[in-house]
């Protein structure tokens, strides 16, 4: 049987490649071969590897939402650690996921300064964000890894999912930001950024957060 090296495989932007019957050690080899500077997102679920190559619009959404969350945390004077698309994995559960964006907030002090996160001993991120413009989030990995809050943004609307009793329930409010109507305001300011630009949007959003928190 002919073997193909990963560098021989091209995944067009916006498309997904599925690899089946992949052992955990093979998955670890894939991560090592692709390296940390890659643009593709990977997930692992009981022997299946999903490789997704994002579009530019996907990356725009990830960066903007991440920046908006940072503004909220800064204005509320809450310490945090943003870890972007870090690979979170647990071999015992045969699960791994790379969020589009993620934050340690409640548990920031526990992983502060750590170069590597090990979910067999470290807590998962408090908030994960998925941009579902070109793909659909698979909940299994997030549920098994126990990530408390998951946001999905499809380019128009924001959905909030809270992890309770081993599964996600859809909520109108964020557990992390209970007094801020992020489900309405995040999409609003995302649309604003397409009209007035990133910096102007951030200034308006920061001013709005300052009013809300008073």
**What are the residues facing 88 on neighbouring strands?**
97
pLDDT digits (tens, 9 = 90+) for 75-109: 999 999 998 877 777 676 566 777 889 999 999 99
Residue 165 lies in a domain: yes
- The phi and psi torsions of 150 (rounded to 5 degrees) equal -125, 125
Whether 20 maps to a domain, the answer reads: no
**170 domain residue, yes or no:** yes
Segments of the chain with pLDDT less than 70: 1-15, 36-39, 54-59, 90, 92-95, 133-139, 214
% pLDDT > 70, the chain: 82
What DSSP line would sit under 104-123, residue for residue?
Answer: ESTTHHHHTT-SS--TTTSP
- Give me 144's structure tokens: 């098994």
What pLDDT sits at residue 4?
A: 44
* Domain annotation covers residue 196: yes
| 189: containing domain | 55-213
Q: Give the pLDDT confidence of 30-46 residue by residue, as tens digits.
A: 778 777 666 677 777 77
What local confidence, expressed as pLDDT, does residue 155 receive? 87
Percentage of the chain beyond pLDDT 90 is 46
Residue 44 lies in a domain: no
Strands 167-171 and 158-164: antiparallel
Give a yes or no: residue 145 inside a domain. Answer: yes
> Would 10 be classed as within a structural domain?
no
Q: What is the CATH number of the domain that holds 112?
A: 3.90.1570
Does 86 reside within a domain? yes
Rg (CA), the chain: 18
What's the total number of domains in the chain?
1
């Amino acid at each position: 049987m002919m073997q193909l090296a990963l560098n021989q495989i091209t995944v067009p932007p916006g498309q997904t490649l599925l690899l089946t019957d992949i052992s955990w050690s093979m998955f670890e080899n894939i991560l090592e071969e692709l390296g940390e500077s890659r643009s593709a997102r990977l997930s692992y679920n009981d022997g299946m590897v999903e490789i997704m190559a994002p579009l530019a619009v996907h990356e725009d959404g990830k960066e903007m939402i991440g920046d908006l969350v940072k503004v909220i945390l800064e204005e509320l004077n809450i310490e945090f650690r943003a870890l972007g698309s870090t690979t979170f994995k647990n071999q015992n559960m045969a699960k791994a996921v790379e969020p589009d964006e993620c934050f340690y907030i409640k548990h920031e002090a526990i992983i502060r300064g750590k170069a590597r996160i090990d979910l067999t001993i470290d807590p998962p991120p408090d908030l994960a964000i998925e941009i579902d413009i070109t793909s659909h989030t698979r909940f299994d990995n997030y549920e098994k890894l126990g990530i408390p809050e998951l946001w999905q943004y499809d380019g128009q609307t924001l959905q909030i999912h809270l992890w309770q009793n081993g599964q996600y329930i859809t909520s109108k409010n964020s557990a992390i930001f209970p007094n801020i109507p992020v489900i309405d305001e995040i999409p609003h300011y995302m649309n604003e950024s397409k009209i007035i630009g990133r910096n102007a949007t951030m200034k308006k959003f920061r001013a709005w957060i300052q009013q809300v928190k008073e």
